[in-house]
């Protein structure tokens, strides 16, 4: 192999990196089915509407997703320089 081959691969991988703001929730003590109800309700909405939905949703999963959504908004503002009024929830999924 040529010298610097690994660094070339890293440069190419970082050039194709997804620049969308995101947040991840790990070790949540809630079932996937219960979280899906809330995720389905906010998918495709702008962030202000999504925050309103999760704020007044009586499910326990909505508290966790509200915290996650606020974290994603903060990541977009601080790391990517985006404005909160231009953001929307493109996707939300469970693993």
Name the band, by pLDDT with cuts 50, 70 and 90, for residue 64. Answer: very high
Mean residue pLDDT of the chain comes to 89
Domains of the chain: 29-95 (3.90.470.10)
Residue 1 has pLDDT above 70, yes or no: no
pLDDT at 94: 78
What b/e string do you get for 44-57 counting C-beta neighbours within 10 Å, with b at 16 or more?
eeebeebbebbeeb
pTM: 0.79
Q: Are 91 and 43 in contact (CB under 8 A)?
A: yes
CB-based contacts of 87, cutoff 8 Å, min separation 6: 21, 46, 47, 73, 76
Paired with 88 in beta bridges are: 46
Q: Is the pLDDT of residue 93 over 90?
A: no
Please report, in angstroms and rounded to a whole number, the separation of the first and last CA atoms in the chain: 37
Residues with Cβ within 8 Å of residue 1, at least 6 apart in sequence:
none
Is the pLDDT score of 79 beyond 80?
yes
The pLDDT assigned to 3 comes to: 59
pLDDT in tens, 2-41: 556 788 888 887 787 777 888 999 999 999 999 999 999 9
């Amino acid at each position: 192999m040529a010298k610097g081959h690994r660094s070339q691969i890293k440069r190419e991988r970082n050039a194709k990196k997804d620049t969308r703001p995101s947040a991840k929730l790990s070790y949540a003590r809630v079932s996937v089915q219960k979280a899906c109800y809330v995720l389905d309700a906010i998918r495709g909405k702008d962030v202000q509407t999504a925050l309103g939905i999760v704020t007044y949703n009586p499910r326990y999963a909505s508290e966790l997703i509200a915290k996650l959504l606020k974290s994603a908004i903060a990541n977009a503002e601080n790391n990517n320089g985006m404005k909160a009024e231009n953001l929307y929830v493109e996707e939300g999924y469970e693993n």
